[in-house]
Structures are given as structure tokens and as C-alpha cells.
Amino acid sequence: MTTCHNERVATWFAQLRDRLCGAFETIEAEAAGDAPPARFERQGWERSGGGGGEMALMRGRVFEKVGVNVSVVHGEFAPELRALVPGADRDPRFWAAGISTVAHMRSPMVPASHMNTRRIVTTRGWFGGGADLTPCFPFDEDTRDFHAALGAACDAHGRDHKALSEWCDRYFHLPHRGESRGVGGIFFDDLDSGDFEADFAFTRAVGEAFLTIFPALVRRRMGLPWTDEQRRALLVKRGRYVEFNLLHDRGTLFGLKTGGNIEAILMSLPPEAAWP
Amino acid sequence: MTTCHNERVATWFAQLRDRLCGAFETIEAEAAGDAPPARFERQGWERSGGGGGEMALMRGRVFEKVGVNVSVVHGEFAPELRALVPGADRDPRFWAAGISTVAHMRSPMVPASHMNTRRIVTTRGWFGGGADLTPCFPFDEDTRDFHAALGAACDAHGRDHKALSEWCDRYFHLPHRGESRGVGGIFFDDLDSGDFEADFAFTRAVGEAFLTIFPALVRRRMGLPWTDEQRRALLVKRGRYVEFNLLHDRGTLFGLKTGGNIEAILMSLPPEAAWP
């Protein structure tokens, strides 16, 4: 039963990866003009403790650097982690699968964005994930539509959008700067309502919402002109993104500590950044 | 007596700052040609708990971004830090002064470098600091001369250069990459031999050695041509510098946790960096 659950979850993540890559490649093709459009390149990796993943990376005209990673790993948590992971104190074995995408855009007018969802199974099993938007020059309309798309996913599955949005704001916060990373989104973890089908359906809905709204926002802004000064502001904004991911992001730090694939973990870092 | 010590130390740091800024400005003037040479801009800051500091920052043709910070702060360590800082368990009051410089160079042929020394006084008092060299394209001659300069300072003051060099190698290491940050230097901490004058003299000698050797290395390489490809390699190398400072550097993390001046702490970050 659990194995069947795991297979369905892993299959969903792989399918969502294919659809995200397809959506982003379509945008690149629209923007390419006469030049051959950028395409994703995929690279697999294996985890020494069990399982592995696949990175997909594209460098294009619109998407300066966009990665979509999937992984399915299993093994045993190291002793120092067993007390920290729910259900791992009774049995250190785990299974985990996830999808993560981070898009850094060439234009300062197009927002960067991130989405990830994951399922972790120990003696317990739960979903987690989220999506957030990081514009350099926020448009209220984009912020509103991004929140509305995620809010609709929450509403359709009986989740408290306000609570998950506030969780996102707390999480994507740079305390040393007193700044938010972006304009928010949703964040959830330890999602185990007791109804696997309901939790899995909500997790899929978050992916579907992102797949719909983010490409729409990219198309809305990708034609806008920008200045060198605005591009410079984008590089500085990305410096904050680097600070958050390396100083505060639990996923990044957990991955580095548990010997995850370095290139996959740090794929979230921007292609270029600046500190004034 | 201690107050007199503290005043002498703080005065030395300020004088060394002036001399470093002068040495770097002289190099900029040599490289400026007809254009007005870059100069340091200074900005003071105050610490809410007591004391403050001064940042000096220059953006030039040779030094793409170089900062020289001094600070003299005092107050009481927060309860959670008292057990971590030597001598603070008995009395939380402290006094600390330091100088820190980080130079990120425009040319990929000129090494980046860092030097800092500090004195901390609780119920105990000690010196710490170090200097290291981070070339993108290392020249054996430069590495040798940099180590020789610091080795001479160690030898003249009866310090074990090999031990301090190995400490540097252990410290400036990126475990998640299995890489060194650069080609090494020296690192020391908790230096309290019982002879303040001897420890202070060694600390000054580290500053003097850096003041001599680093400008010499800059002059040796600043005239070399470089390619766009080499400049790109420099930006990637700087990405590793960012990773080290935000993931591993105790000084950075300690400063951010103790509410230090953000701009001063993060002045070590490069003006531009890239992740391929």
C-alpha cells in the first residue's frame, strides 16, 4: 500500500517535471526569434546511500537559469538526525521523493520564482512544499494573481490559505536584513491529515497552480524593456536570494549536511549576483 | 592597565587601517591613467549595545571592491553566548576591537586576499586573526612569497608557522565541495601566552606582513592581460567565496547572530559572483 503510494508520488513528480520543462521551453521558443531556442539538459545522479535523482537545467533568453530537479532517495538517517526527523527515532529507515524548481529570469521585470513539493516516509509519512515569487520590481497585479492561484488550490482542498501564506512569509524572511525574500506564496510541511489521497491531491494542486500561474506571469512581463540600472538592481536582489539560501534555507543546509548532490542542491543559486 | 592595553590596540588597528587604505589608494593612482583615481569612502556606524566602527570602501580599476573595517565595541554577551565565549561565563561584560580587510580584484590574474586581527577581552583577554590568499589562477611564486612573508612574522615572534598555516587550511575549507577557499595563509585564535606585549607584537607583525606582501603581489600581476573566459572563471571562483562566507565563516555567522553591523559584516562579499 505504502509502496503503491510512493510509486504514484514519484511518478507524479516526474510527470510534473516534464510538464514544467515543456512549459518553460515553449516560452523560450516563443522568444527565440531566428536563433535555435534553448532546451533543458538533463543529468542523472546517484546517491551513495540509495536512490538518486535527475537535474534538468536550461539557460535561455528569458530564463537566464532555470532548474527542475526530481529525486527519489531511500536509506537510513544518520544517528544525529534520527531525533530531528518525525518518526525516525523508532526506525531510521526513510524514503523521500521531491520536485524542486527555481527560475532566475534575465529580465528584471520578470519575477524569479520557486516551487517544490516532496513526500517523506519514515514510520510516518507526510507531504511538504511551497511556492513563492521573488520579483525585483513587484507588480501588484502579479502578486495578487500569484496568491490567488495558490489560494484557489488551498480552497479547493480545504486548506487554510491564510495560514500557509503566513508560514511562507515567516519562512522566506532574512532576519539579518529585516527583509522578505519576495512577495510570498505558500509554505507547508508535516502535512499528514490521515487521508493520503486528500494530502496527495492538495500537493498535486500546488504543482498545477504553479504550472499555470508562473508561465502566465512570465509571458505578461517578458516583453517589457529594461535598463542597465534595473538589471543591476536585479543582480543585487539576487544577492539577497543567495544570502537566504546559504544562511537560512533549511532545505539547502539539510541537503549539504546529509551529503546530498551538491550541484542539485545549489542549482537554486542565481547565474550571477552582486553585492554593492 | 587593561584599559591602556585596549587603547593601544584600538589605536594600532586604526593606524593600520589608514596605512592599508593608503597603500591600496596608491596602487589605484598608479593604474588610473588620466582618470581621477578611486578613493576610499568611509562610513561610521554605532552599535546599539555600545561602541561602533568605521567602514572604508573603495571601488577602483584594480581593486574592484576592497573594504577595510575597524570596530571597537563593548557591552554584555547575551545569555546564550556566555557559555561559548572564553571567560564570559563568570562575567558577561566584554570589550572587543578588530580590523578586517577583504580585497576583490578586477583582474582574474590578481589574487583576492583577506586579513583580519582582533582583540577580545572578557575576564580573559586574547588576540586572534589571520590572512589568506585566494587566487583564481594561482602562481606558485605568489603563493610561496605570501607564505614566506607570514612565516617570517611567525618566526620573528616565536610562533609555529606550520601549525598556524595548517589551522588556516582547516578553517578556509569548503567541506560540501571538498575544496580549499584559496592557497592558504595563517589563522590563529585564543592567543594568550600570558605576555600581552609579545602577543600584541605578533598581531602587529601579521598586519605589517600583509601590508608589505599583498600590495607587492597586486603590483606583480595587475599589468597582465586577461580574457573574458578568465574573468568568467573569477566570478565562479567568487561564488565559492560567497558559499564559504555564508555557510561556514564563524566570524560572519557570529556577527549576524549578535546583531553586528550588516553592511560591515557582509562587506566581505564580492561585487559580482556567478554560479554556472
Here the ipTM equals 0.86
Longest dimension (CA), chain B: 59
Q: Of B40-49, B176-185, B246-255, give the lowest mean pLDDT range.
A: B246-255
Residue B261 DSSP symbol: -
Q: Could you tell me if residue B40 is inside a domain? A: yes
What does the mean pLDDT of chain A come to? 94
**Closest in B65, B256, B272 to A272, CB measured:** B272
| Pairs across A and B, CB distance < 8 A | 49
Where does the pLDDT of residue A251 fall: very low under 50, low under 70, confident under 90, or very high at 90 and above?
confident
Is the pLDDT reported for residue A259 higher than 80? no
Confirm or reject contact between A242 and chain B (CB < 8 A). yes
- CA-nearest residue of chain A to B259? A176
Q: What is the pLDDT of residue A240?
A: 97
Burial class (CB in 10 A: 0-12, 13-18, 19+), B213: buried
Residue B127: what pLDDT? Answer: 98
Beta-carbon contacts of A225 under 8 Å, excluding residues fewer than 6 positions away, are none
Minimum Cα–Cα distance from B260: chain A residue? A176
Where residue B141 falls among pLDDT bands split at 50, 70, 90? Answer: very high
CB contact under 8 A, B247 and A256: yes
Looking at residue A20, its amino acid is L
Do residue B274 and residue A276 have CB atoms under 8 angstroms apart?
no
What is the C-alpha to C-alpha distance for residues B136 and B238, in angstroms, rounded to an integer?
Answer: 8
The answer to whether residue B273 sits within a structural domain is no
Q: What is the mean pLDDT of residues A234-257?
A: 91
Our count of domains for chain A comes to 1
Mean pLDDT of chain B: 94
Which residue among B253, B266, B272 sits closest to A274, beta carbon to beta carbon? Answer: B272
Q: Which residues of A touch B256 (CB under 8 A)?
A: 176, 247
Q: How far is A123 from chain B (nearest CA, A)?
A: 29
Could you tell me if residue B272 is inside a domain?
no
Quote the pLDDT of residue B2: 64
Specify if B190 maps to a domain.
Answer: yes
B1 pLDDT exceeds 60? no
What is the spatial distance between Cα B218 and Cα B51, in angstroms, rounded to a whole number?
Answer: 34
Spell out the residues 6+ positions from residue A188 whose beta carbon is closer than 8 angstroms to its own: A127, A128, A129, A130, A159, A164, A167
Closest C-alpha to A146, from A223, A214, A222, A215? A214
Of B164, B183, B23, B273, the residue nearest A241 (C-alpha): B273
CB contact under 8 A, B275 and A271: yes
Nearest-angstrom CA–CA distance, B204 and B156: 12
Q: Using CB atoms, pick whichever of A253, A262, A275 lies closest to residue B271.
A: A275
Q: How confident is the model at residue B27 (pLDDT cuts 50, 70, 90)?
A: very high
Q: What pLDDT is stored for residue B257 in this prediction?
A: 75
Does B269 map to a domain?
no
- The predicted model gives A26-33 an average pLDDT of 90
A141, amino acid identity: E
For residue B80, the model assigns a pLDDT of 83
Give the span between the Cα atoms of A79 and B140, in whole angstroms: 43
A40 in a structural domain: yes
Other C-beta atoms lying within 10 Å of the C-beta of residue B178: 8
Mean pLDDT of A108-123: 97
Domain for residue B275, yes or no? no
State the smallest CA–CA distance between residue A161 and chain B in angstroms.
Answer: 32
> Which CATH number does the domain housing residue B156 bear?
3.40.1500.10
Contacts for A22 with CB less than 8 Å, ≥ 6 apart:
none
Average pLDDT over residues B96-121: 97
Residue B29 belongs to domain spanning: 3-264
**pLDDT winner (highest mean) among A84-88, A259-263, B24-28:** B24-28
> Rounded to whole angstroms, how far apart are CA atoms A201 and A208?
10
- Identify the pLDDT of residue A82: 87
Flag whether pLDDT at B81 surpasses 90: no
The grid coordinates of residue B104 equal 576583490
Q: In this model, does residue A1 exceed pLDDT 80?
A: no
Residues 166-225 of A with CB under 8 A from B: 176-177
Q: A-chain residues within 8 Å CB-CB of B177?
A: 262
What mean pLDDT is predicted for residues A87-100? 93
Across the interface, do A276 and B272 touch by the CB < 8 Å criterion?
Answer: no
pLDDT at B82: 87
Residue A216 to residues A26, A56, A146, B122, Cα–Cα distance (Å): 12, 21, 10, 58
Distance CA A75, CA A78 (A): 9
**Closest to A75 measured CA to CA, from A55, A101, A46, A100:** A46
So what's the pLDDT on residue A2? Answer: 64
Provide long-range contacts, Cβ within 8 A and 24+ apart, for A81-89.
A81/A258, A85/A120, A85/A122, A86/A122, A86/A124, A86/A126, A86/A190, A87/A122, A87/A123, A87/A124, A88/A122, A88/A123
pLDDT of residue A257: 75
Q: Is B274 close to A273, i.e. CB distance below 8 A?
A: yes
User: Can you give the pLDDT at residue B48?
Assistant: 85
Question: In this structure, is residue A276 part of a structural domain?
Answer: no
Whether B267 shows a pLDDT value over 90: the answer reads yes
Give the mean model confidence (pLDDT) for residues A123-142: 97
The active-site residue out of A74, A114, A147, A176 is A114
